Every structure is written in structure tokens, then in C-alpha cells.
Amino acid sequence: DGGITQSPKYLFRKEGQNVTLSCEQNLNHDAMYWYRQDPGQGLRLIYYSQIVNDFQKGDIAEGYSVSREKKESFPLTVTSAQKNPTAFYLCASSINLLAGANQPQHFGDGTRLSIL
Amino acid sequence: AQTVTQSQPEMSVQEAETVTLSCTYDTSESDYYLFWYKQPPSRQMILVIRQEAYKQQNATENRFSVNFQKAAKSFSLKISDSQLGDAAMYFCAYRTNYGGSQGNLIFGKGTKLSVKP
């Protein structure tokens, strides 16, 4: 079955540590996204990538970094500069927009990150 | 910048009854897309229904339908014959069709729906 796999499901970060969240998709989608979800908030966009080797900052990119070396992979690194990293992180992907901008984003199951 | 507002943080409905969740948005664009996503306790985001702004006909998907009022910038979700499995957070989302951020979703803060047996 095609889908988006996020790992790990739960992650703990120590003070001053960088951690990387994995996101892999086998849907052959061009675009990939990272969102952060806090209690009582909607999803907020961290980074997005519409094509391999290119990515753009979203609304809350500070303290995060990404790479897009392969079409199917879009890892997110939460750096020590992110002072409040505790949240639920969702990865999503969508088909090439030239094929139809009404195509929805498909989401992974998320990673919950907590500070030790 | 576009914004999405869901004015009902929580809603409750009796099983088998009908409930309507509200969503309003602000935009100066004429061509865009609107979505409703469901997030059950498992936290997975599931697409419920989508609407294209240039289509006047309201979208329907089985028990789910929308009331799209473009001039009023309103996009409400109606759930008919509510079932216990409908209990979840519901997010309204806007998607622009222009510019470098084409394809990006802007989400409301969500409405938590409870279904009473």
C-alpha cells in the first residue's frame, strides 16, 4: 500500500541536542511538507519542498532545518535553537501541482517530540 | 495573507442527529480550494471533503456535505446521521492556487466534535 511513514512515533530530546524526524513516502508525490501541531492550535507550516533539492521556509521555520535529497524522503531536524520543541509533528505530501491544485495533501501518522 | 477561522472550539451532537461545523476565511483571491480534514484520537489527518472555489455546487461525500458561500467567505461542514466514529477534531483548510506557496494549506484551529450515544 502507498503511504507516508513517519518515525519514530515518540521522540525525546535532551537539552542542547539536535534530533531528526524521518518522513518517507512511496506515493511518488513531488511536494512534501512539515507541520507542527500544538494543543488548541491548528497545524502550522514549518518547511515545504515542491521538488527534489529545493525547499522553502514556512511560517515557523526558526530552529528547524530540512533536506530533500531524494523524492521520497524529507527529514526534519529540530535543532537546539528551537527552545520550545515539545509538539506533535506531521509530515504530508501531495502530487505535482501541475497535475491539479485541488489534489489533497496526504498525511503521515505523526511524531510526538518531548523534552527530557 | 489568508486566514481561516473556526469559531466553535467544541461541539456536541447526539448519535443519528445532524451537526454543522462553521468555517470562515479571509482572502482576496478568486481561485482557491477548501478542505475539511478529520483528526481522530489516533492523530492521523484524514481528508473528509474538498471544494473548488470556482464551482458553485456544494460538495458532498456520503453523510458529509458543505455549504459553500463564496461571497460570505464561509465554508461550513454538515454531518448527517452522526455516528460514534465521527468524534474527532475537524480542521478547515484553505489552499491558494497562486504564487510560490501554491499548494500550501492554511488551517483553522479546529473544532472538537463529541458524539453522544
For A36-69, write each residue's pLDDT tens digit: 999 888 899 999 998 999 999 999 999 999 999 9
C-alpha cell at B96: 491558494
Q: How far apart are CA B101 and CA A48, in angstroms?
A: 9
Q: Give contacts of A108 with chain B, Cβ < 8 Å.
A: 44
Q: Which residue has the cell 456544494?
A: B58
Across the interface, of A40, A42, A106, the residue whose CB is closest to B91 is: A42
Q: Are A109 and B43 a contacting pair at CB < 8 A?
A: yes
DSSP class of residue A73 equals: B
pLDDT per residue as tens digits for the range A67-81:
999 999 999 999 988
- Mean pLDDT to the nearest integer, B44-52: 93
- Give yes or no for B83 touching A (CB within 8 A): no
Q: How far apart are CA A87 and CA A83, in angstroms?
A: 12
pLDDT per residue as tens digits for the range B66-89:
999 999 999 999 999 999 999 999
Interface test with A, best of B23, B50, B101, B105 (most A CBs within 10 A): B105
Q: Is B14 helix (H, G, I), strand (E, B) or coil?
A: strand
- What φ, ψ does residue B80 adopt, rounded to 5°? -95, 155
Task: Specify the pairing of strand B111-116 against strand B10-14.
Answer: parallel
| Model confidence at A2: pLDDT above 80 | no
